A and B are shown apart, each in its own frame.
Chain A
Amino acid sequence: METLELTQEEQFQARIDADMRIEPKDWMPDAYRKTLIRQISQHAHSELVGMLPEGNWITRAPSLKRKSILLAKVQDEAGHGLYLYSAAETLGTSRDQMLADLHSGKAKYSSIFNYPTLSWADMGCVGWLVDGAAILNQVPLCRTSYGPYARAMVRVCKEESFHQRQGFEIMQTLCEGSPEQKAMAQEGLNRWWWPTLMMFGPKDSESPNTAQSMNWRIKRFTNDELRQKFVDMMVPQAEFLGLTVPDPNLKWNEAKQGYDFGDVDWEEFWNVVKGNGMCNKERLQARVQAHEEGAWVREAALAHAEKRQQREAAKAAAA
């Protein structure tokens, strides 16, 4: 039995090494299944909770154009959550279970959404920085080893670049505006820069699961690699906007052809992960409230569907 199992696992790994996709009904190690359910559902939860900080600004968007764009973006995020929940469900978990885990606090979502969105510039920063970071994380996942996850990510990535561009455009408009508007943009960058760097997760040396995840190709670059890429990508964009990245240690390193930058405040990072961020309670409360207040709608729709089915069956029987 033991040798048989080993062979199965070796075959599985060989398929992954050959860059073949794993599909829902294929054999897979339990740990692969569990890790993926956790990773995909966390990602889905992030999309869902990610609607809240932006939803906060829909009624206060500065123009009808901005409001329509923001609505479309928030709607996309709902869609991204749905693609991802469906992908996770192919692994044998249920939608209700995942939502229950989110609502009880057992499941995590991206800590970035536990920061408040205080000004309109924050809508720019969320699109430009947060979605920019998300894209770096997500593009490699279009080639991840689990088929349904990879396909969901292709769809997500196609839609995500609009999100980043609209954010950059908000920043650019503010930076070309009045001194007050430019100051608002700078304040936004000051508040969002470090939390965005935290989105890539703990340092490689403190991320013990990275090696296994890379081996399974459900992660394709390490946290530090992606963080470096992000800084190298964003600094020139900040310079274009005429904004200052709030890091005194930021410096071009000719030898490595990349920027050296300061260390993230890891104490803050872990504190937010553990639930003590500025908005953790508020976000979770909003999710739970929406779910509970929507319960009657879900029930009524089911009751209506059942009633209609019975009516149609009775009609067919009478005919």
Chain B
Amino acid sequence: MSQKEWPLWEVFIRSKQGLDHKHVGSLHAADAEMAIQNARDVYTRRLEGVSIWVVESKHVHASNPDDAQAFYEPANDKIYRHPTFYQVPDSIKHM
């Protein structure tokens, strides 16, 4: 008897037309087609979605949380990237 588990898939759902697909969880399935069918049953029993993406979990590459501080640090001191950094005279409209 095979002892192999079905592979793990990450599930992304578009909740309605016009919105992004969003990660909702994961599940096991033998192949992509079954993963989509299972995702329909597990994650959209109450009309939560109009479109499903599945990605085999082993294909997801992630940033390392231990490096988060250094990794995102470059954005810390660049407040001039935000519109609130600039002063606009009161008399100027539509800016």
Residues of chain A at the chain B interface (Cβ within 8 Å): 23, 25-27, 72, 75-76, 79, 82-83, 86, 89, 94-96, 151-152, 155, 159, 295, 298-299, 301-302, 304-305, 308-309
Contact = CB atoms under 8 A, between A and B. Distances in A.
B25 A83 contact: yes
Among A25, A26, A86: residue with most chain B CB under 10 A: A86
Contact of B30 (A27, A159, A301): A301
Contacts of B27: 82, 86
Given A25-B62, A75-B45, A305-B30, 6 more contacts: A23-B65, A79-B42, A79-B45, A95-B28, A152-B25, A159-B46
Size category of the B interface is 20 to 34
Interface of B: 1-6, 8, 25-28, 30-31, 34, 41-42, 45-46, 62, 64-66
B26 A89 contact: yes
13 contacts: A25-B64, A76-B45, A86-B25, A86-B26, A95-B28, A152-B25, A155-B25, A159-B45, A295-B1, A298-B30, A299-B1, A301-B6, A302-B30
Contacts of B41: 75, 79
Contacts of A94: 5
Contact of A302 (B4, B42, B62, B66): B4
Given A23-B65, A301-B30, A305-B30, A89 B5 contact: no
B47 to A, nearest CB: 13
B86 to A, nearest CB: 32
B5 A95 contact: yes
B31 A305 contact: yes
Contacts of B28: 95
A83 B25 CA distance: 7
A91 to B, nearest CB: 13
A83 B11 CA distance: 12
Contacts of A299: 1-2
B65 A302 contact: no
Contacts of A155: 25
Contacts of A159: 45-46
B30 A82 contact: no
A23 B68 CA distance: 13
What 7 pairs across the A-B complex have the smallest Cβ distances? A305-B31, A301-B30, A305-B30, A86-B26, A299-B2, A25-B65, A302-B30
A308 to B, nearest CB: 7
Given A95-B28, A151-B25, A82 B4 contact: no
A89 B66 CA distance: 21
Given A76-B45, A299-B2, A89 B30 contact: no
B64 to A, nearest CB: 7
A305 B31 CA distance: 6
Contacts of A302: 2, 4, 6, 30
A94 B4 CA distance: 11
A309 B25 CA distance: 25
B6 A27 contact: no
A94 B64 CA distance: 22
Nearest to B46: A159
Contacts of B34: 301, 305
A239 B77 CA distance: 63
